[in-house]
Structure 1
């Protein structure tokens, strides 16, 4: 899940401000002092001691001070915080990361980064953070501690404005790291926490003179560990404090043995969780153990499918989930895709141990895998429907579990075909939602040589191959793309799979398109369309093939044919509720409108195009639309705004693959806008506006781009200042030389006005 941003602009991705934070005043103040004196601070402590809540509270405090809220504006503390965290405070949650290779992607996602190139996520992170001043909060890194240490070391070395606040059960062990060991709250704070949690569970609960001593002893018996106190508080609905203490003492006498050599508080927490486990009914214990197979958040439907069986009827799962929630063993959360459930990591690990002891872990992991295979399949079908935006949000929410399902498939030699199928089925997410790097990771893994014959599962392998070819082409990796697509095409011909052949030919045509080989692109894309129609295939991919053919025609000046193709795509998309492919059709239609001198119609089309691409985080579509829109803005007589938009789009090219970056056709609007706006403004003024644009966040840029000329109210003034007329600066992009055949396309990197790769 992507957390809601802070209220007042691009200050980070912190979740909604935490509720009442009980106690920990001294620790919070000490944490603030440590962050002032070191760029790396790690809060350590036993599971359940409150590390996550403390670092989140510290992060909120830093963000509020930097933003100047709560009276801090103008104060020395406020100015210092803005100096340290002027570019925001971001939370990266690593607890659900199982594959170390995904750690860097998790941090990138937390920072809202989208990159379509073959650069490593670490390189992208370092380049993004190099000139920024922000606080990165890394929570729950225990399972990938070595990788976390290596990543933090390099980022701190390369990014002088970065500070890191980490939370885990052990330090990162890096030079310069300051460690704050977090002990349980002092007795008064522990009692206040127990009382608050008990009051939340039972509004009639209160600490009185009669029960204070028993409650204080409960806190002492639990060593004041917040998670243990929360588990105990749930029992105060049915037990008096004295009864709770008596039962707790009995269980501790029986269970305090724990693991030999374990720290006392580790034993205490395990005993407290074990006591909660003992107090559960057999059905509750069974569900607890089975729910441990989920990574991160999950919904009730998934829980019912994965966990139900002859010994746990599906109709009982809902009530049992509610009972585990009442005991603080499950947490309910709101996400972009509705209500989800989550187990605290310490509770999940305890349940996983029981599942292993029952000998049922492998079967449950396969049930989990099957559910998410089904989820991905239904999402692929729903992508070509009015639910497209919902599908994107659903996959985003379920990503941790989809990753776990991919791991399950690829870790079993006999089930690699399922991993190939799953990685291929998620093509719409990799390509349509800005996840090319992660998609490439899973597709490469799924297609690694195993020494096993692949003929039995040829269809799943073929799907993974054409999706790999598609993803690699969008990343600008032509060699990998060609290798995968040729293998797919040849194997499809040998095995008699016309659909896989159509996809391979289509993506070869796409690669030719972004490589400026328009003749070959037209041939391949036309052939793919014929093959799709022959087998009755119609979905977003087929429509995209038609749009790409329209692009090839438009770039060669055959606008009538391009308009026919893309108008048909727009009509089908509107009938089916498809938006992602529609955005690319709108791009071609806007191109044609601008070529005809109708800047107003081009702007109307591009406004919707920009909105859709931004919603899906499609960087390729967004940057192309923005640069065409900048050229439209020149045509409207506002070269200053065009320069600003052009400047804002320039940094985005660093995240677009090299093949696309070097295309003379796709890059023509940028070059033309720079030339024409530069003529109207002069080089110095053009650069000043472009520099202003480079400072805009993507959210701010999209908002700015979607303003109409009337809303801007700047065109006439700038035209007067430039000493030029206010009439259209560009009429007919084709007549300006955009669509002519280029005998010598520019090399990757353009004319020097582009961002260097």
Structure 2
């Protein structure tokens, strides 16, 4: 094992500050002091006053302090600083799930998400930042109260227009910027849009007056900065003064903050062209980010030609009404929440909101359909990133499908079409939520013209529930799908139902039945002309069933064929599972170097797609490879690092003797070679690794073992990583040939 202290970890998910933070030095210091004295601090204030920017700046300061030299005073956030953005969450059932995602938790079990959160936070010391909870204030307050009670090392920094009203909460109203800070912000933002702009004696008075008229509200100042690109400060001030007079009866006294903000947004709205105002209103139907293609489809019409949308987006960007962001899914845009709400009000007043919501839904149904097809292609990773970025909009589309009972079949289709995301990208819990909802709300659609959508949702539900270890719900959905497919003569749905029944048998250790069902499903797929990631996964699962029963030759043949097809099509997700089986066969044949190479690729792919099921299986088998190579300490580290992953994967599912065999065998071998105390120390080291740290370590491989003589041979046990349950001491099995670990001389006695 590597020597030296464990590096200080500074996990978290805070975004970088692309435009810089201006002023607020006093507020930042005060906020830090408040967090020292209270476990819950809520920064309150009107929309646009700068709550989000301030709490993010405070959070970054806390993260920087935690990353500094080891100091007991900085241990408060040793487990990181995490941001949960809640503004786009409308469904209370998704609140806890959104928080879990923000913390990087992936849980494949059927445990309540609140339980998962509480267990994760129970022994951790971290700062949780909550932003935009107003639409779910009661639910957020209940969740925060529960987590704080059960997690003594947790502190919460929240930003909202109102406090959570909890015992022990420090509610801190945020004032607008002072005159100097407001002027500095206005100049900084204007200069960013127009490098030729500068503060001069000629424009200082007008700019200072503009800051005063906007009450020092950061959002209002940024909107004004967008206008200074085309108007002089005096012109901006003149137009704004007219707007104030209209709304306040000519009063030139101090204005309420919310009115100043609404005035600034309304003034920007008035200065927009008719086309810009119309696009602004229609863009308000998006949740979170969106791209240009979506904007063109959803917003264009006879009164807004599609070829005008790009130019209009550019104009809204120039006026700071839109924000452009670079993401893993490409260039995307978003509206600040106050601006979006203003636009949504106009859309309602135009009587066009329902039509636009449906166009929005239709676009995202089409996007999901395209992504499902493109999942079986070289663009698989891009598809995963795109769906991740579009999740708030996909949620909105699913809600729209459920708004009208006669359109529930659209929700079933959409929830079913996203199977690759639910199962392949670590989103089982959310997938189960939507599948249950669409099927519950659409019970009356059985046997209707929309039966195919219902059947798809059923087999996907059966698949998701099986991976969660909920065999009762899985079997119920799959039998219903199979019977419905037979009645409607839907051969494809029937094949999927039989396939997932085989998958359920596989994870339930019924290998004979799994082989029978999976083989039948493959025949059905061939007859229907179906070929995609699901079909190839069926072939890999059949190979697993054969390997578990000792037919390595048959398993190898199937998985080599899958690997070749995946490489030809650019498919990587299913390929990772084929590599897992191939690595098992290599290890069984003594090829530890090739097994390591295959598993390293498997780990990298599963980590890319956030597939914790595949990742934990690969890490456990890699640990067995590692101890076989003669590195028991490193194997123990990997074993320890994998333990937290098992909590999210679900012990009920992987209590399987077959799937557990590599872990138990490695634990037995490494424990005998190291001794109980050192094994436990190495495992603790592994548990301290972050997920990224685990993956980096697994890919790097062990350092060369020191030349300190041969390692003793472990006593008893089986060398087969996946022996049949009931036949090994480690995995429950005996009587299988023993193979010595690397470095053990021939003939050395056991022990």
Kindly report which structure 2 residues correspond to 1:389-538, keeping only aligned pairs within 5 A, or say none.
389-450=381-442, 452-454=444-446, 455-538=448-531
Go from structure 1 to structure 2 and tell me whether the alpha carbon gap of 1:14 and 1:8 turns closer, same or farther (over 3 Å shift): farther
Counterpart of 2:592 in structure 1 is 599
Kindly report which structure 2 residues correspond to 1:290-369, keeping only aligned pairs within 5 A, or say none.
290-369=282-361
Q: Quick one: which of 583, 605, 608 aligns to 1:615?
A: 608
Counterpart of 2:56 in structure 1 is 56
Counterpart of 1:733 in structure 2 is 719
Counterpart of 1:65 in structure 2 is 65
Q: Distance in 2 between matches of 1:21 and 1:668?
A: 53
CA drift at 1:716:
4.5
Q: Distance in 2 between matches of 1:733 and 1:591?
A: 11
Q: Quick one: which of 664, 688, 695 aligns to 1:695?
A: 688
CA drift at 1:211:
2.3
CA drift at 1:739:
3.6
- Aligned to 2:656, what secondary structure does the other structure show? coil
Counterpart of 2:145 in structure 1 is 153
Contact 1:635 1:730 in 2 (8 A): no
Q: Distance in 2 between matches of 1:356 and 1:269?
A: 20
CA drift at 1:239:
2.2
Q: Which moved more, 1:457-466 or 1:148-157?
A: 148-157
CA drift at 1:707:
2.6
- Aligned to 2:601, what secondary structure does the other structure show? helix
Contact 1:663 1:746 in 2 (8 A): no
CA drift at 1:449:
4.2
Q: Quick one: which of 55, 64, 88 aligns to 1:96?
A: 88
Q: Distance in 1 between matches of 2:52 and 2:621?
A: 45
Counterpart of 2:567 in structure 1 is 574
Q: Distance in 2 between matches of 1:223 and 1:303?
A: 33
Q: Distance in 1 between matches of 2:711 and 2:8?
A: 39
Kindly report which structure 2 residues correspond to 1:168-179, keeping only aligned pairs within 5 A, or say none.
168-179=160-171
CA drift at 1:238:
2.5
- Aligned to 2:60, what secondary structure does the other structure show? helix
Q: Distance in 1 between matches of 2:706 and 2:249?
A: 78
Matched, 1:714 2:701: no
Counterpart of 1:16 in structure 2 is 16
Q: Distance in 2 between matches of 1:391 and 1:9?
A: 31
- Aligned to 1:312, what secondary structure does the other structure show? coil
Counterpart of 2:741 in structure 1 is none
Counterpart of 1:42 in structure 2 is 42
Q: Quick one: which of 56, 77, 85 aligns to 1:85?
A: 77
Kindly report which structure 2 residues correspond to 1:740-751, keeping only aligned pairs within 5 A, or say none.
none
Counterpart of 2:158 in structure 1 is 166
CA drift at 1:451:
5.9
Go from structure 1 to structure 2 and tell me whether the alpha carbon gap of 1:730 and 1:529 turns closer, same or farther (over 3 Å shift): farther
Q: Distance in 2 between matches of 1:369 and 1:633?
A: 50
Q: Distance in 2 between matches of 1:481 and 1:137?
A: 37
Q: Distance in 1 between matches of 2:718 and 2:518?
A: 27
Go from structure 1 to structure 2 and tell me whether the alpha carbon gap of 1:581 and 1:730 turns closer, same or farther (over 3 Å shift): farther
Contact 2:633 2:670 in 1 (8 A): yes
CA drift at 1:459:
0.2
CA drift at 1:523:
0.7
Counterpart of 1:544 in structure 2 is 537
Residues 600-656 of structure 1 show CA distances to partners (whole Å, capped at 9, x for unaligned) of: 221111111111111111111111111111111111111111111112112211111
Go from structure 1 to structure 2 and tell me whether the alpha carbon gap of 1:675 and 1:324 turns closer, same or farther (over 3 Å shift): same
Q: Distance in 2 between matches of 1:363 and 1:671?
A: 58
Residues 504-528 of structure 1 show CA distances to partners (whole Å, capped at 9, x for unaligned) of: 0000000000000011101100100
Q: Which moved more, 1:273-282 or 1:207-216?
A: 207-216
Q: Distance in 2 between matches of 1:130 and 1:415?
A: 42
Contact 1:634 1:728 in 2 (8 A): no
Q: Distance in 1 between matches of 2:400 and 2:41?
A: 35
Q: Distance in 2 between matches of 1:682 and 1:741?
A: 26
Contact 1:129 1:159 in 2 (8 A): yes
Residues 106-159 of structure 1 show CA distances to partners (whole Å, capped at 9, x for unaligned) of: 111111111100112211111111111111111111111111111111111111
Residues 164-197 of structure 1 show CA distances to partners (whole Å, capped at 9, x for unaligned) of: 1000000010111111101111112112212222
Q: Distance in 1 between matches of 2:386 and 2:416?
A: 17
CA drift at 1:208:
2.4
Normalised TM-score (structure 2): 0.93
Normalised TM-score (structure 1): 0.92
Q: Which moved more, 1:95-104 or 1:337-346?
A: 95-104
Contact 1:256 1:271 in 2 (8 A): no
- CA RMSD, Structure 1 to Structure 2 (Å): 2.2
- Aligned to 2:201, what secondary structure does the other structure show? coil
Contact 2:556 2:582 in 1 (8 A): yes
CA drift at 1:8:
9.3
Go from structure 1 to structure 2 and tell me whether the alpha carbon gap of 1:257 and 1:385 turns closer, same or farther (over 3 Å shift): farther
